[in-house]
A and B are shown apart, each in its own frame.
Chain A
Amino acid sequence: MASELNKLTIAEASAKLHAREITATQLTRDCLDRIAAAEPKLHAFLTVCEKEAVEQARAADARLAGGNAPALCGIPLGIKDIYATKGVRTTCASRILENFVPPFDATVIERLRADGAIFVGKTNMDEFAMGSSTENSAFGATTNPHDTARVAGGSSGGSAAAVAAHECLGSLGTDTGGSIREPASFCGVVGIKPTYSRVSRYGVIAFASSLDQVGPFTKSVRDAAILLRTLAGKDTRDSTCSARPVPDYELGLTGDVKGLRIGVPREYFVEGMQPEVEKSVRAALKNYESLGASTVEISMPHTGYAIAAYYLLATAEASANLARYDGIRYGLRVNSEDHIALYETTRAQGFGPEVKRRIMLGTFALSAGYYDAYYLKAQKVRTLIRNDFERAFEKCDLIVTPVAPTTAFKIGEKMNDPLTMYLSDIFTISVNLAGLPGMAIPCGHDSNNLPIGMQLIAPPFAEEAILRAGDAFERTGAFKPRTPAV
């Protein structure tokens, strides 16, 4: 533990690796040691890939010694257990995939591998990414590194906690309704959900195909830019993936936000939210004004319908996406007298309660006689919400909101009340419905020393704009995230 290289950012570590001041092997060793020390309290990982990581580090060192290695060469990352990783168990935190080992890599895993990144392990999550606290993991919750009595957020809670606790330098999450941004906010790290279609979804186990998007967790905005640069871009295996060229996001980090018009939606500062959250975000807005940006109040009148529309569309898609877990070809099988009984018992034992709830909700929304009233209506709401954003972006370049109405809540606090749990994503869900890029960055903490996150939202494919603004805020040093308690 002497060197604590695991505390470096990706940008710092990359510079040192390329300068041969440190080795990928040392860096990986420090991460693995940290994992060994912290995991009993955090449970951020479902699978730790020690052997593979050490081998990858050795290969990275050889490549770094040869010169010309990519920026991510030798950087230890955590991977949400929703990404197919060839030869490494991929569970989606579900009993039904408990022993599933994919024969292929997700596209983004392939890209990171090609760049020489190191995978220290597969991180914990809500089962099939359904949840806002990682308590729906079939293998136990992840705790918040700032207070282990609290949740890490979800569904990508393991990835957020792992970065916050320096178990790895960055990680991958997925975000369907806030699953990157909310845990990033709860754990005090940076998390970006890119524009829908910016990053390939191939090999990412689907929850809701029209909403799911891949994104990184990092300790700094610069690191997010570095990771996203590698993740983004056309993939012939994903027909919904954009062919638009990928800018060098890191080069866009100029620190300059002069003249930037920031929209502040009235509907996102609601009654019942934790006062400290509003205070922190408002303070950050003042900070932007002092940097030469302007703020303007905007209105997004259909915000109130977002959660209802989301839970119809996401569950409808999920009900079909999860139909493949039938016990026939892979994963859990509970043998029964005929194939129908086999489905029933396998799925009854394989899926947790929240997954079952959503499959049933989605099946109902698509059923004959209900389709128009639910699925179709929700699609119309989705269009209205998208229009809200389009209209808003006529008046501003970026929108700033809180990420979540509260800071991290206590483990168990909302488990018996799914509706209250769903409200944790009230500020993030619209962004998925509209397919926009959104980023969470730490902007303060509450009286319990729990991190508060600010959300930056941009028009489609304007990731550069939110990265630049986020980086400019970080540079002011107005807020420095605390070292977590764990």
Chain B
Amino acid sequence: MNREAYEAVIGLEVHTHLLTRSKLFCGCSTTFGAGPNENVCPICMGMPGVLPVLNRRVVELAIRTGLAAHCTIAPYSIFDRKSYFYPDLPKGYQISQYETPICKGGYLDLPPTENGDTRRIGLTRIHIEEDAGKNIHGESASLVDFNRSGVPLIEIVSEPDLRSAEDAGAYLRQLRAILRYVDASDGKMEEGSFRCDCNVSVRKRGATEYGVRTEIKNLNSFRFVEDAIEYEVDRQIAIVESGGKVAQETHLWDPTRKETRPMRSKEYANDYRYFPEPDLPPLVVPAEMVEKVRESMPELPADRKARYVREGLTEYEAGVLIADRDVADYFEATLPGLKNRKGAANWVMTEVLRVARESDKPFVEGVPPATEVGALLTMVEAQKISLNAAKTAFAAMVNSGKTAEATIAELGLAQVSDESAIAAAIDKVLAAEPDKLAEYRAGRDKLFGFFVGAVMKAMGGKANPKVINEILRAKLAG
């Protein structure tokens, strides 16, 4: 198979829960993990006679996301009913937006690849819709949990601008970073709050027409998205190579068998019969509201990166730190009282991220608090401890959860700067090594390091090296 002769064309549809306290059209809680059917009311259960009332916060978060992704915010959009029957869909229709999404256009810039390429991925639209409940299939019966029914979602639809599984992965990571930056979503795939459908087709490299696409549904991890695309692209190329035609189908990814399989047409071939939702007035977003949201926007990743570079970090350092908002926030929380930003950046990138990688907890919970790391680094700057002592203390803090100060005291890592104590130790070392002293004085400058080491050893490694240097130099000079 001549894979190189082909190009994949990929577009993604990402559904993400919005971080609101209450549901899209009723006051029920959106908390994940409640007991079955605890977060429900007549409205999200689709009882007869109930009506939806739009959650204002959802509109604000959709606008935030749209602004972060350079979209046009529609001053006027409407909600539509999307009709289909499924046991987890209580009204028999989903309230969504069809012809008039709240955000149109826009783009995401992918971070540079190893060879420095940057890519701009176009967005088609972002719209607001409600989630359905969840079917739970048992041996003798199926049950439905409606806690998720009515939880607000936005669907973010990309242009078919992605060309590989790696592209798709980079796009998803970038999108998730932005969603987290603007507090729109927690991006937790494992809780189903971030789900992805992929449209995949292949064509001969250089062709301008698109091939026939398949849709792969409901992928709930970045890994699955990448694996499914890899598999699907190979499958389609094989079909085309052997003279066949790709069928326009909807597929499901089977993560255990690592393959996609077509769904029965009965499972997806719906005429959704969209029409404007008569229970909700048109959504009018005045320019002032957009401006207000814009003013309330947190700093976006690209802006934050530029600021870090202005403040003295390298492109690379800034890029690593801003990739995850939690890491960047952590970095900034170590800074108060510190002079050396670069030192703090390096510390976070090496020590902290290493611990974070080894932990199975979410970033912030798996590492010591940023303020404590700040305290450690402040002590290093004030020469109260050595850099090595700081590393030792940090390693201990990961397990003990104790403060920097307590750890330093407990482990006796505080640095000795007392000149008389250091001078006494130097005198002892010089007295014990008369031969080396003579050699040094005869011109073997290299022995200076030997004396420093011997003094440090005599003081249990806690002496301030700067003070040792000064006094030692004076004494050696005689």
Contact = CB atoms under 8 A, between A and B. Distances in A.
Given A326-B92, A329-B46, A371-B275, A236 B53 contact: yes
Interface stretch (B79-87, B252-260, B459-467): B79-87
A237 B48 contact: no
A330 B49 contact: no
Interface stretch (B158-166, B276-284, B393-401, B435-443): B276-284
B150 interface: no
B169 interface: no
Interface in B265-292: 271, 273-275, 278-281
Contacts of B281: 239-240
Given A339-B142, A367-B273, A102 B279 contact: no
B128 to A, nearest CB: 14
B304 to A, nearest CB: 38
A104 B47 contact: yes
A346 to B, nearest CB: 11
B129 to A, nearest CB: 15
Contact of B48 (A100, A210, A326): A100
B87 A324 contact: no
B142 A201 contact: no
Nearest to B144: A328
Contact of A202 (B46, B49, B275, B280): B49
A239 B26 CA distance: 12
A106 interface: yes
A130 interface: no
A278 to B, nearest CB: 35
Contacts of B279: 206, 209, 239-240
Interface in A151-205: 201-205
Nearest to A204: B49
A320 B83 contact: yes
Interface residues of A, number: 46
A473 interface: no
Nearest to A328: B87
Nearest to B146: A329
Contact of A102 (B48, B51, B144): B48
B309 interface: no
A238 B49 CA distance: 11
Contact of B49 (A205, A317, A325): A205
Nearest to A323: B92
A201 B48 contact: no
Contacts of B47: 84, 102-104, 329-330
A340 B264 CA distance: 14
B280 A103 contact: no
B53 A323 contact: no
A236 to B, nearest CB: 7
B91 interface: yes
B49 A326 contact: no
Nearest to B82: A320
Nearest to B266: A340
A192 to B, nearest CB: 21
B476 interface: no
Interface in B65-110: 81, 83, 85-87, 90-93
A14 interface: no
Contacts of B280: 239-240
Contacts of A82: 49
Nearest to A84: B49
A385 interface: no
B475 to A, nearest CB: 84
A324 B87 CA distance: 10
Contacts of B278: 208-210, 240, 317
A320 B275 contact: yes
B320 interface: no
Given A209-B279, A239-B281, A339-B87, A320 B81 contact: yes
Given A102-B47, A240-B281, A366-B275, A323 B83 contact: yes
Contact of A203 (B45, B49, B83, B86): B49
A320 B93 contact: yes
Contacts of B83: 319-320, 323, 366
Contacts of A205: 48-49
A141 interface: no
A229 to B, nearest CB: 23
A239 B48 CA distance: 17
B91 A324 contact: yes
B406 interface: no
B271 A343 contact: no
Contact of B87 (A83, A104, A326, A363): A326
A205 B46 CA distance: 11
Q: Which of B46, B50, B93: most chain A Cβ within 10 A?
A: B50
Given A102-B42, A320-B93, A329-B46, A202 B273 contact: no
Q: Which of B85, B87, B271: most chain A Cβ within 10 A?
A: B85
B52 interface: yes
A170 B83 CA distance: 38
Contacts of A270: none
A371 B49 CA distance: 26
Contacts of A330: 47
A92 interface: yes
Contacts of B86: 339
Contacts of B46: 324, 329
A1 interface: no
B285 to A, nearest CB: 16
Nearest to A209: B278
B2 to A, nearest CB: 39
A206 B271 contact: no
A427 interface: no
Nearest to B277: A209
B54 interface: yes
A206 B53 CA distance: 16
A40 to B, nearest CB: 29
Contact of B273 (A201, A324, A326, A363): A363
Interface in B446-475: none
B51 A202 contact: yes
Interface in A309-336: 316-317, 319-320, 322-326, 328-330
Contact of B54 (A92, A239, A339, A367): A239
A397 B169 CA distance: 66
A14 B408 CA distance: 84
Nearest to A339: B87
A97 B90 CA distance: 15
A347 to B, nearest CB: 10
Contacts of A206: 48-49, 279
A96 to B, nearest CB: 10
A69 B447 CA distance: 104
B92 A203 contact: no
A103 B42 contact: yes
B53 A239 contact: yes
A92 B48 CA distance: 10
Given A84-B47, A239-B52, 5 more contacts: A102-B49, A208-B278, A319-B273, A326-B92, A366-B83
Interface of A: 82-84, 90, 92, 97, 100, 102-104, 106, 201-206, 208-210, 236-240, 316-317, 319-320, 322-326, 328-330, 339-340, 343, 363, 366-368, 371, 375
27 contacts: A103-B42, A103-B47, A104-B42, A201-B51, A203-B50, A205-B49, A206-B48, A206-B49, A209-B278, A210-B278, A240-B51, A317-B278, A320-B92, A320-B273, A320-B275, A323-B91, A323-B92, A324-B48, A324-B91, A324-B92, A326-B92, A329-B90, A330-B47, A339-B87, A340-B85, A343-B85, A371-B275
Interface of B: 42, 45-54, 81, 83, 85-87, 90-93, 142, 144, 271, 273-275, 278-281
Nearest 6 Cβ contacts at the A-B interface: A323-B92, A366-B273, A209-B278, A210-B278, A205-B48, A203-B49
